[in-house]
Structure 1
């Protein structure tokens, strides 16, 4: 096989059905979660690790439970908007904006704090909370021209790794989700028909290197929440300790429609157009733990340290694909559509541990705070054989975990925030810098936030606005960069879409306090 690695072909073929879900990007998606439970947390850029006394702090540093002065209940929600500005890499292509608005349920929680007790432990608190940690709702659209076709991928998937050139597998051995559909619709065919040897080709292989019109509409939906049970205490007003058990739960859905077509009649004869659709639904559940402490050397200064254990996520995927292909058969246009069976796969993902270091300075009229988060997505690890004894799954698991280590690096996230207290009113602002986790990218995604609040004797009301900007790239489909004819040039390039994106969210939090009242600073 001319300049096409057999190992790459094996992966493309044997595990093509798994590529709809288990990917390095999915591991990153589930590794970089963080609580957005309350408007107060969001209004100060998430920098709450050393503050405590707020439900948003529990998901950052559970030692904050030890700084609740009263029992507390809250509910939090608000609208969010995600916009992707996408452009296909190529000459003369335009940028396309696509947005998605959702209404989010951010969190709901209860803290029970004991009455003052006559010991060195000033109070003990117990919490129940469900808090949002990830939002997957977004739309992506692009349209343009670039060399290569998704039929190149189908051709790669059809090749026999033990043979050379374009000698392929028996049609009955093609996978059910991509190459098999391509063969059924005529996107992939054997022009010779030798019963002893199958040699595949495509209509567009003759146009290798030519820019082909293509477009994609990608919709993702879903979210993740942490249901948590926590305990915390306050020792001598100097040291707060806390622990939380998190039970992540959620869902992720993806609907992808990808098209290629001729811009003028007979431009790529006999090819006219194709449309490939894939759908994925993932059910998410898991467990992790978080420990933390907050130390107050003096009343006006606090230091915080929190550690989140590696987590285990159990994931269940359901997926299917559909391919429609139209070509001119010499007499008339012919259109064929093929459908995959419904696929299902159960597997696990170990997410990385996280550290948070925090500092806060507190005065009569407010506070300033800062958090530094450390997480290493390269330590995420798939287990694809938890419910499978298929050797193919084990081999793909090793390759996938190797890819994760190669693609990602440790990420440092900086968050800064402040609050001004004027009587019962609060005014907040925050700023954050999130380091991208890709090894070949040395950039930070900036974000900022604003917030206001009102503190009554028993109730409180908070509002926040938060926006994060980031740049990223993705491939609508992947290939092994094959040189099918052996002339030294790549015939199957992978297209690349560059994106400038932003996410912004408004959050409204209402809560009320009950039980013992023991004020130590304005923040109560």
Structure 2
């Protein structure tokens, strides 16, 4: 009977790819918190998110709180979203495609003007989901390259020796992530002059991420057939449950330059997120004779903080009785993202590693300028508005090709059901590519990602 004395030869390599496990976070973990933050509102997103200089309904609480000052009637708003995430992954020239659907409550809130002797003053409050972690990845194929996997085994005589199980095997990896970030916000907008509005939004962020990875490799060609290293398969399962919370402030301004033309700006101040993680990992090694060894590789909890950089939004819009045209941008310097080290923790190796990740952020990431274009066409005789938009979110990584940028093509429509009720729908199609590689599956995987998103929003004015 064989016995296992050392389970993992490459356990130390795991933190290179899935660094959350074992209390070691990566630069990617910090960047991804607000990367791909898309916002909400079928009307705004149907215009590609080019809403900084429009922002004339409840959703101004997110896009530009100064726009709240233009609301003349109390508004109640609600929205649902449906997201289809499709990932076509190529691993060692083998294509595996998978998709998954996610339906969420996107927003519910209210905005109401208060009586004033001059100008206007509008308050708003609500819940808004502005960021999705929802994603999936599945790939498989035969791999001739070594991943460093191996084990110390004892034969029946008690002799121990290291035996590799690292190459010329079939490999499969499946990764899923579900969750997102939510904003619980209160906002206020005030008309300071006939042509200038100002506003502020205070937000408490909450969120969660349910991350799971399962790696499997199998000796399908029976290459590993010599006792005691007559390996059949190896399986590794990792789970990370993360909770997020933070407090943020956004300031906004909106100016009418000439009738029909407005410029807008909004400043989101740096935000510090607290992240609480619960992690676990298990593995299973099977042999040709049916012997299976299962091990609990550890579990635990870890808490850390990440400060995300400020972002600046700017935009311009033109409107008349027939059309509305708008453009906006968002500037963010990702190099200013930082892991925050608690006082007295500099001697702790878990926190010392975060300082190294901060150096990686400075070195490998860059400032980006995302841009959005959109418009509306009003069909007044039909009480209908048609919308379209285009947006580009550049990759925060340095020295990557343009196909790593997130591009969005959007369409939408609004229907005035009556003088009180408006119904808005939107369709968003996003696409980009990314190259990933980890110690389990050397050689890399090319992911071709497509997102189809549908939103339906309801506004009641009274």
**Shared fold (TM-score, shorter chain, > 0.5):** yes
| Aligned with 2:449 (options 501, 510, 517) | 501
Deviation per residue, 1:142-166 (Å, 9 max, x gap): 001234454x2x6xxxxxxxxxxxx
Gaps of 5+ in 2: 1-11
Q: State the shift of 1:264 in Å.
A: 1.4
Matches within 5 A, 1:25-424: 25-88=28-91, 90=92, 93-115=93-115, 117-119=116-118, 122-150=119-147, 152=148, 187-189=150-152, 201-204=162-165, 210-267=167-224, 269=226, 270-327=230-287, 332-383=289-340, 385=342, 391-423=348-380, 424=383
State the alpha-carbon separation in 2 of the partners of residues 281 and 236 from structure 1.
49
After superposing the two structures, state which structure 1 stretch, 264-273 or 67-76, moved more. 264-273
1:462 paired with 2:462, answer no
TM superposition shift of 1:318: 0.4
CA distance in 2, matches of 1:202, 1:445: 44
What does residue 414 of structure 2 align with?
Answer: 453
Deviations 1:465-518 (A, max 9, x none): 11111111222x348xxxxxxxxxxxxx8441110001111111111112xxxx
Q: What corresponds to 1:473 in structure 2?
A: 435
C-alpha distance in 1 between matches for 2:175 and 2:132: 16
C-alpha distance 130-386 of structure 1, shift in aligned 2 (>3 A): farther
Q: CA RMSD in A?
A: 2.7
TM-score in terms of structure 2 length? 0.89
Offset at residue 382 of structure 1 (A): 1.1
Q: Does structure 2 retain, via aligned residues, the 8 Å contact 1:419–1:428?
A: yes
Query: CA separation in 2, counterparts of 1:17 and 1:34?
Result: 21
Give the TM-score taking structure 1 as reference length. Answer: 0.78
Q: Equivalents in 2 of 1:325, 1:59: separation in Å? A: 50
More off after superposition, 343-352 vs 129-138: 129-138
Match of 1:47, SS?
A: coil
Question: Which residue of structure 2 lines up, in the alignment, with residue 434 of structure 1?
Answer: 393
Could you tell me which residue of structure 2 aligns to residue 160 of structure 1? none
Deviates most, 438-447 or 286-295: 438-447
**Structure 1 residues 289-331: Cα deviation after superposition (integer angstroms, max 9, x where no partner):** 1111011111210111111011111111001001111235xxx
Is the CA contact (8 Å cut-off) linking 2:82 and 2:101 kept in structure 1? yes
Cα offsets for 1:333-365 (capped at 9, x unmatched): 532110133310111111111111100001111
Report the structure, 1 or 2, having the larger helix content.
1
| Shift in CA distance, 394/80, structure 1 to aligned 2, threshold 3 Å | closer
3-state SS of paired residue (2:298)? coil
Query: Which structure 1 segments of 5+ residues have no match?
Result: 1-8, 155-186, 193-198, 480-492, 515-524
Alpha carbons 2:24, 2:353 under 8 Å: kept: no
Change (3 A) 1:11 1:292: same
Deviates more, 1:406-415 or 1:28-37: 28-37
- Once the two structures are superposed, residues 6-31 of structure 1 have per-residue CA deviations (whole angstroms, 9 ceiling, x without a partner) of xxx79959x96746772222222113
Q: Counterparts of 1:405 and 1:55 in 2: how far apart (Å)? A: 37
For the Cα contact (< 8 Å) 2:21–2:240, is it kept in 1?
no
C-alpha spacing 1:126/1:59, structure 2 compared with 1 (3 Å): same
Aligned length: 441
SS of corresponding position for 1:349:
strand
| CA pair 215-149 structure 1, distance change in 2 beyond 3 A | farther
Structure 2 Cα separation of the partners of residues 18 and 204 of structure 1: 23
Q: Tell me the residue number matched to 1:170.
A: none
Tell me how far apart the structure 1 counterparts of residues 323 and 53 of structure 2 sit (CA, whole Å): 14
Q: Distance between the aligned counterparts of 1:499 and 1:10, measured in 2? A: 23
Give the secondary-structure state (helix, strand or coil) at the position aligned to 2:48: coil
Judge conservation of contact 1:41–1:57 (CA < 8 Å) in 2: no
1:350 & 1:139 partners in 2: Cα distance? 27
Shift of 1:378: 2.1
Distance verdict in 2 for CA 1:225–1:282, change over 3 Å: same
